[in-house]
Amino acid sequence: MVTEKEKMLKGLLYNPSDPDIRNEFIEAKRKVRLFNNTNEDELELRTSILKSILGSMGKNAYIEPPFRCDYGKNIHVGDYFYANYNCVILDAVPIHIGSYVLLGPNVGIYPINHPIDKDIRKIWVEYGQSIRIEDNVWIGGHVVINGGVTIGQGSIIGSGSVVTRDIPENVIAAGNPCKVIRKITEEDKKFWENRYNLER
């Protein structure tokens, strides 16, 4: 027999009030509260608590408190990942975030969906769709990323965007719904290398 937790992780309809799921939810909330109540000079403690929350965490990854998640164990982040204030990740399903990914303040990663039919919705079941953010992505402030989305490596998502479908690699995309504005080119690279060298 398939458990409610197995259904949850597979993206099937599941009951979030199942005791096993609920216990993991409560435990994650306890750890998140401890993390959010650390002081600014307690970097080692913050890192230790964060490692106990997340499923996996690369080197020099950092999340600025306050942070919110549902379970934590289903979140996987790479090296030099950075999330600014008020990051929310509802991780009933796996969330994979690559290396050198930057999240602006108030970014919401929301893979959870509820049935369209109102009567099924009243049963209090839900389902998730995994999200993947590849390496070297920059997500602007107040961006919402919905379930089932992949954001390709090197891309930039403009502030306030709502990402409802896949975004290819090496593009600038923005809007509600989020759409590709243009490719990131060699001219961009030259411009920023020149500016960096001039302003050093």
Active-site annotation, residues:
114
- 23 burial type by CB count under 10 A (0-12 exposed, 13-18 middle, 19+ buried): exposed
Q: How far apart are CA 72 and CA 87, in angstroms?
A: 13
CB atoms within 10 A of CB 73: 18
C-beta of residue 126 within 8 angstroms of C-beta of residue 107: no
* Nearest C-alpha neighbor of 129 from the set 107, 149, 143, 147: 147
The β-bridge relationship of strands 75-77 and 87-89 is unpaired
DSSP string, 60-81: T-EEPSSEEES-STTEEE-TT-
DSSP-H helix ranges across the chain? 4-10, 19-36, 43-53, 118-121, 186-198
Nearest-Å Rg of the Cα atoms of the chain is: 18
